[in-house]
Structure 1
Amino acid sequence: MRATKRTPAGDALTEFILDLFRLNGLLLTAGDRLVARLGLTSARWQILGAIVAAERPQPVAWLARDLGANRQNVQRIVNDLEREGLVAFETNPHHRRAQLVILTDKGRQTYEAAGLLQAPWVNGLSQGLSVKEIEAAHRVIAALRQKLDGEDEPQA
């Protein structure tokens, strides 16, 4: 069996993906540190953000889909957030078992406090980068997400 060689673009993308993996770990660690005093982790903060970003209350499965995350992991974190009074469950008129997740006042205040911490942090992180560079990186990541979205397994 002959191994297929990567193209120059494939090599460059492989290096980019490896850097994204490393960056993801660093971002999660930095986010954990940033919001720890609020009783949050990066994962909890991300889920609160997904709830805020949704146009209307959604069930856990939809939040997980929007985040590109595992439903069981999101359910576990949402349950923790509910125990801490940051979210609540509401009856879903369209599905008896899939309750809707809503932000409580405490959850909204915590999310807003995290945003106040994030602004100076991200402003400092962006120093030395142009808006055009950031937008170009965003376009590449968005294009990769679009190509991978809905793909069950990597193509051989």
Structure 2
Amino acid sequence: MLADDNTTLVRQLAIAVFEANGRLVETGNALVRPIGLSTAWWQVLAALGYAPMPLPVAHIARNMGLSRQAVQRVVDLLAKQGLVRLEPNPHHQRAKLVVLTESGREALAAAEQAVAPLDRDLLAKIGAERLSVAIAVLREMNDALP
């Protein structure tokens, strides 16, 4: 591949996303560990907290780009901790809906409070307009991927 080939930009973006993901997970773990969460737990709590309605595990996994099995393991752990509960799904007999409990809402709020200073710092360093562009580009990339 030629050095000036624009397709290398795609590879550079992918590598930057992988690096950012690793740093987000590591930083997230450090921020939420004191409140008894991991980044994986926080991701699932946030997916539920921002969803307009309870979701089955498969939908959470699809929305997050993770395997259903990985999300099921996290949901099982969250349920043992009383942060989520499973309820019947009127649209699918076997795919229970995952619902945040009050403790789950409190844990999500605590995680978001823990990350708020970092959010403000990143916003100040990068700027709202550039963050909006980055979000749009990543969404387009996600939509273009198989």
TM-score greater than 0.5 by the shorter chain: yes
Question: CA RMSD of the aligned region, Å?
Answer: 1.6
SS in 1 for 2:85: strand
> How much does 1:83 deviate?
0.3
The aligned amino acid for 1:141 is L
- State the shift of 1:5 in Å: 5.7
**AA partner of residue 47 (structure 2):** A
Q: Take 2:127 and 2:55, find their aligned partners in 1: how far apart are those partners?
A: 36
- 2:141 is matched with which residue? 144
Counterpart of 1:39? Answer: 36
Moved over 6 A (4+): none
Aligned to 2:15: 18
SS at match of 2:94: coil
Structure with greater Cα Rg: 1
Count of residue pairs brought into register by the alignment: 146
From 67, 89, 95, give the equivalent of 1:92: 89
Which one has the bigger helix percentage? 2
AA matched with 2:43: Q
Q: Which residue of 2 aligns with 1:117?
A: 114
Q: Are 2:136 and 1:132 equivalent residues in the alignment?
A: no
Please list the CA deviations of residues 51-108 of structure 1 after superposition, one character each: whole Å capped at 9, or x if unmatched: 1122211111111111111000000000000000000011112222111110011001
Query: What is the distance in 1 between the residues matched to 2:4 and 2:140?
Result: 18
State which of 77, 90, 105 in structure 1 corresponds to 2:102: 105
> Partners in 2 of 1:144 and 1:17 — Cα distance?
10
Unaligned residue ranges in structure 1 (runs of 5+): 152-156
Distance, in Å, in 1 between the alignment partners of 2:3 and 2:65 is 27
How high is the TM-score relative to the length of structure 1? 0.87
Cα distance in 2 for residues equivalent to 1:133 and 1:125 = 11
Q: 2:54 is matched with which residue: 51, 57, 81?
A: 57
Percent of aligned positions with the same letter in both sequences? 36
Correspondence for 1:154: none
Structure number with greater CO (CA < 8 Å, separation at least 6) is: 2
